[in-house]
Amino acid sequence: MDTRRVRTPVLVLYYNRYLSNSDCATFIKRVTRRYGTASLERLTAMGDQMARRAAVFAISLVGDYSSNPVLGRALVDRDRGVRMIADSGIRELWRRAGSRQHQEMLREVTDLNDQRQHAEAARLATELIHNSPWIAEAWCQRGTAHYHLGQYDAAIRDCHQALEINPYHFTAAAGMGQCYMLQDNPVAAIESFRRALRLNPGLEEVRAQILRLQRALKKED
């Protein structure tokens, strides 16, 4: 009988302390002192439940866009806690693509959309895309602006491009579904919503949209 004990990663101890005191700065300091990105990424796939949660959370705080596939896979982890942390964390990673200047421009575009200044958001996003067409979130944010401006074909094209660059971009897939719905194309909307759910099964509102559309289609038959 093998009596060897499995060692708990020190990362889990750091994470448990964070959960008890909410001291994010200390957690980041401890993690960066002890772990590199590659070690954290390995723990997201090989650790137990708490180790995976801790690793995904740590990457959300200290990682960059290169860890996007790791958090993308964590979105479908068997543990709901891991999935929830990944959902929040991967959105942060999407904003960390490119240089500091790119990130500042992207933050401004996002703020403009949040402030409902969609025409200005679309203009600035276009400038960012012209300079750095490989930043998926810039395409998605411009798609959001086009959606609110009622320019659904343009929004769909932008969201599709975001997904071409970043195949884990579930918000772009969901955005396409919303546009197709408003274009009275329920079949395409359902297909886009299902794609979003395959990427992120935690999108309950998207799941509800699919059910509503399916019921509406049955009534028409």
| Contact between 92 and 60 (Cβ < 8 Å) | yes
Q: What gap in Å lies between CA 134 and CA 97, rounded to an integer?
A: 9
Residue 5 has what pLDDT?
Answer: 54
| Contact between 38 and 131 (Cβ < 8 Å) | no
Tokens of 42: 């390995």
Over residues 14-32, the pLDDT tens digits come to 999 999 999 999 999 999 9
Over residues 113-122, the pLDDT tens digits come to 999 999 999 9
Superfamily of domain 100-220: Tetratricopeptide repeat domain (1.25.40.10)
The count of C-alpha atoms lying within 13 angstroms of the C-alpha of 85, restricted to the half-sphere facing its C-beta, is 24
Identify the residue whose tokens are 């590199």: 36
Tokens of 6: 């499995």
CATH code of 10-94, in short, is: 1.25.10
Over residues 26-49, the pLDDT tens digits come to 999 999 999 999 999 999 998 799
Q: What is the mean pLDDT of residues 91-96?
A: 96
Tokens of 112: 């403009």
Residue spans per domain, the chain: 10-94, 100-220
Q: What gap in Å lies between CA 190 and CA 175, rounded to an integer?
A: 12
